[in-house]
Structure 1
Amino acid sequence: MEQLANYVPQELISFLLVTLFSLLIGLSQRKISMKREGASMLFGTDRTFTFIGILGYILYILDPVKMTLFIGGGLILGTLLAIHYFVKQNTFHIFGLTTIIIALITYCIGPIVITQPSWFYILIIVTVLFLSELKHTFTEIAQRMQNDEMITLAKFLAISGIILPMLPDDNIVPGIDLTPYTIWLATVVVSGISYLSYILKRYVFKESGIIVSGIIGGLYSSTATISVLARKSKKDPTSYACEYVAAMLLAVAVMFVRFLILIFIFSKDVFLVIYPYLGLMSFATASVAAFIKTKRPIKKEEDDLDEEEETSNPLEFKVAIIFALLFVIFTIATHYTLIYAGTGGLNLLSVISGFSDITPFILNLLQGAGSIAVAVIVACCMQAMVSNIFVNMCYAFFFSGRGQNKELSRWIFRGFGSVIIVNVFILIAFYILS
């Protein structure tokens, strides 16, 4: 925008921008008011908002220092808006202030365009248009919200914006790179991804079926998602076996993507080495899931997860504490394993970590990337993931009834077994190429 001033007078550019932006806001308000309240509720038309913007621009440029004219015009406009609101409230019992506030914002567009950079005033216009159009969407979201939804959001803001900055970055144990800040930073990052998956599941994919539940659940925890799907599979007919196994495997495929995001955040060096292998693992797992999905097409409409399961809070304080404790345990275990058993012991520890939550172990490796070779970190991460897939297969078999549904059990072992074999070959390829 600023470069146009070299060829066109700045005053002309500012005037055209103010007129255009004011007209866009006016058109938006006219359409919304006509649709929801009727012509009798309009504070003028689209031209009215355009003239309000132009008036604010003129009064500002006539006295840009003291801004006496601009302030006076604003007081007159505010008085007219107050009269309009009083009449509307008493006659039609409508108490909304949105149109009045937007009219005042339109009046201020002129000074904003003149004094602020282009990205800022465009951001204001986009925000006004966006929020104006989403009134019904926000109403629907508010109706879906549980009683403690704001508490959940407050928890996330508290652990990320209040607790994290206050924690010291000094080692807790001498000689071990473990500080309160790094512990809680890992907790915040993982909680953020979990909270995102919770929001997607509850508000974006509210009516999702089995497959989408597996995909979204993989962002939070593949193990928890597989356990939930396995328990639910006991209630549905045998014909759904392939559907459930495919969803479980897609949760594993998304798990690789989730770890790619975490690795990118905590260690760019490790990411540059590991992303082709994790990408292949994710693609191979998703391919197996797609193949299994096609074996038993489902014609009847899918059901959602039970309400209690799909709306579970991912930010329970006890979950954060457990994660932090596991992070501390794996940090200390990794430190002394390297001292007394070397990289061989660390490889064994990576396999053992797969029997629990592998996220603390992997994040601990990433935060200690300076003292551990990148190749060792990559190998341990991949080994922990393969080990965890085997554990997930056991969970799927156990929670689905331990063989009561033979069709489901058969596809669980076929699907997870194929994924484990392929991923083991990818792991071997890494050792050969590195």
Structure 2
Amino acid sequence: MVNYTEILSLFPKELINFVLVVLFSLIIGLEQRRHFAKSSMESIFGTDRTYTLFGILGFVLYTISPTTLIPFMGGGLIIGLLLAIFYYNKIALKNTYGVTSIIVALITYCLTPIIYTQPAWFTILLVVTVLVLVEMKETLFKFSESMNANEFITLAKFLVIAGVILPLFPDEPISEIITISPYKFWLAIVAVSAISYLSYLLKKFVFPNSGIVLTGILGGLYSSTATTFILARKSKELDEDYKISAAIILATTMMFIRIFILALLFNKAIALILAPSFAVFTIASTIIALYYLRLDKIKNKDNKKSYSIESNSNPLEIKTAFIFGVLFIVFAMLTGYVNTNYGTEGIKILSFVVGVTDIDPFIINIFQGKWNISNGVIAMAVINAVTSNNLLKMIYGISLSKKTIRKPLLIGFSILVVIGLLTSIVYLNF
């Protein structure tokens, strides 16, 4: 077996670093040549050879005195001055702006100290990032045009709740009744918000014109119940019975995946117990959806029209987070009360009842809490909540959709409800 470490050890470190500097500088320079291929030479100060020489100059001046860095800093000042003069003349003569190429040149000059002082992965990541950012100019411009002020406010909200507020909370239980710590309480909000926010970003920016099926998939990451509500009502306007049925079932498929991800995040032991049953749920619901899509293809084989459904609701509204937090506390207290006074049987009944609400607060609560019940009972409670929620979505779908879509929804959700009830019985033996 070839040992690359031993092979590299045969060469002087300075030689290897010099080759890396020249190689990375040349790659950046070649990218600049391609980027400015249609520009006049007067508007650029250099490309492949110039950038490679910047890298070599940085290597020479750094290795002269790597401790004091005086030659390296002096060379940087001179290069910075020359680039400033070039930029001034570019504005005066060409009336054009933009400092991207100048910044890239300065980064190229700084490659040597980075290679000497930082791990290899960081240097490679830096070069790749520079190449990608320069090449994505038009893409980023179009992306920024599609954003409004609310998008940045939404991003700011997410960064605040995830990076500022979360670390401030203590990780000690709130009380004997509420065994969840403030940290885990807010972590639950962050986790659910992150999944919802990802769904929102995918729907709005990656798949802005997504069809019915993709709407179901992405919406299911956020809320399968809300997606079922939207699609069922939309069915009255569209002649896409089987496709809408498939999309609603796929939204529930994504609910299974979302809940399993939450289980992995908050209680891996429960996640391992739930893995087989959730695999069955996911496979069964996918098969049902694919069957309906096949029926749709047979029915509408000559119809090439594609429909798009607008459902880009913002998942990080303060009101939504507040409601989730209230429900989380309520379910923490309710679960603690039921567990203390009614034990295992009470938890089983409660898990069916919560299906008519947002089940995420209850499920995350039961994942994180320190209950005197077995993991099997916790897994059963999760299955019961999911089954109850599927029953609710079946009622929503049948009540809100047109008549021709009711039978597919009734059959699809009935299969999932039966699987849930049978799976729940299996957990009695845990």
Whether the TM-score (by the shorter chain) exceeds 0.5 is: yes
- 1:35-434 to 2 correspondences below 5 Å: 35=38, 37-237=39-239, 240-297=240-297, 298=300, 299-306=303-310, 310-369=311-370, 371-400=372-401, 405-431=402-428, 434=430
For residues 195-234 of structure 1, give each alpha carbon's deviation from its aligned partner in whole angstroms, at most 9, with x where no partner exists.
1111111111112111011111111110111111112222
- Note if contact 1:214-1:247 (Cα within 8 Å) is conserved in structure 2: yes
Q: 1:421–1:275: structure 2 CA closer, same or farther, 3 Å change rule?
A: same
**Counterpart AA for 2:318:** F
Which has the higher mean CA deviation after the structures are superposed, 185-194 or 62-71? 62-71
Deviation at 1:369, TM superposition (A): 4.8
For residues 163-209 of structure 1, give each alpha carbon's deviation from its aligned partner in whole angstroms, at most 9, with x where no partner exists.
22223344444443133322222111111111111111111111211
Which has the higher mean CA deviation after the structures are superposed, 175-184 or 291-300? 175-184
Looking at structure 2, the residues matched to 2 and 78 of structure 1 have their Cα atoms a distance apart, in angstroms, of 37
- Note if contact 1:281-1:426 (Cα within 8 Å) is conserved in structure 2: no
Q: 1:21–1:374: structure 2 CA closer, same or farther, 3 Å change rule?
A: same
3-state DSSP of counterpart to 2:308: coil
Looking at structure 2, the residues matched to 126 and 372 of structure 1 have their Cα atoms a distance apart, in angstroms, of 51
Looking at structure 2, the residues matched to 315 and 138 of structure 1 have their Cα atoms a distance apart, in angstroms, of 24
Q: 1:412–1:175: structure 2 CA closer, same or farther, 3 Å change rule?
A: closer
TM-score by length of 1: 0.93
Deviation at 1:41, TM superposition (A): 2.5
- Note if contact 1:292-1:415 (Cα within 8 Å) is conserved in structure 2: no
Q: Which runs of 5+ in 1 are unaligned?
A: none
For residues 110-139 of structure 1, give each alpha carbon's deviation from its aligned partner in whole angstroms, at most 9, with x where no partner exists.
111122221221121111112112111211
- Note if contact 1:242-1:408 (Cα within 8 Å) is conserved in structure 2: yes
- Tell whether 2:31 aligns with 1:34: no
For residues 25-58 of structure 1, give each alpha carbon's deviation from its aligned partner in whole angstroms, at most 9, with x where no partner exists.
11111111225x4544332121111111011001
Deviation at 1:91, TM superposition (A): 2.5
Looking at structure 1, the residues matched to 400 and 189 of structure 2 have their Cα atoms a distance apart, in angstroms, of 28
3-state DSSP of counterpart to 1:148: helix
**Counterpart AA for 1:157:** L
Which has the higher mean CA deviation after the structures are superposed, 386-395 or 410-419? 410-419
Looking at structure 2, the residues matched to 264 and 429 of structure 1 have their Cα atoms a distance apart, in angstroms, of 21
**Counterpart AA for 2:205:** Y
Looking at structure 2, the residues matched to 424 and 40 of structure 1 have their Cα atoms a distance apart, in angstroms, of 74
Deviation at 1:79, TM superposition (A): 1.6
Q: Which runs of 5+ in 2 are unaligned?
A: none
**Counterpart AA for 2:290:** A
Q: 1:71–1:281: structure 2 CA closer, same or farther, 3 Å change rule?
A: same
Deviation at 1:103, TM superposition (A): 0.2
**Counterpart AA for 2:23:** L
- Note if contact 2:339-2:371 (Cα within 8 Å) is conserved in structure 1: no
Which residue of structure 2 aligns with residue 7 of structure 1?
A: 10
Q: Identity across aligned pairs (percent)?
A: 43
Q: CA RMSD in A?
A: 1.7
Structure 1 segments, 4+ long, off by >6 Å, are none
Looking at structure 2, the residues matched to 241 and 220 of structure 1 have their Cα atoms a distance apart, in angstroms, of 23
Deviation at 1:312, TM superposition (A): 1.3
TM-score by length of 2: 0.94
- Note if contact 1:267-1:369 (Cα within 8 Å) is conserved in structure 2: no
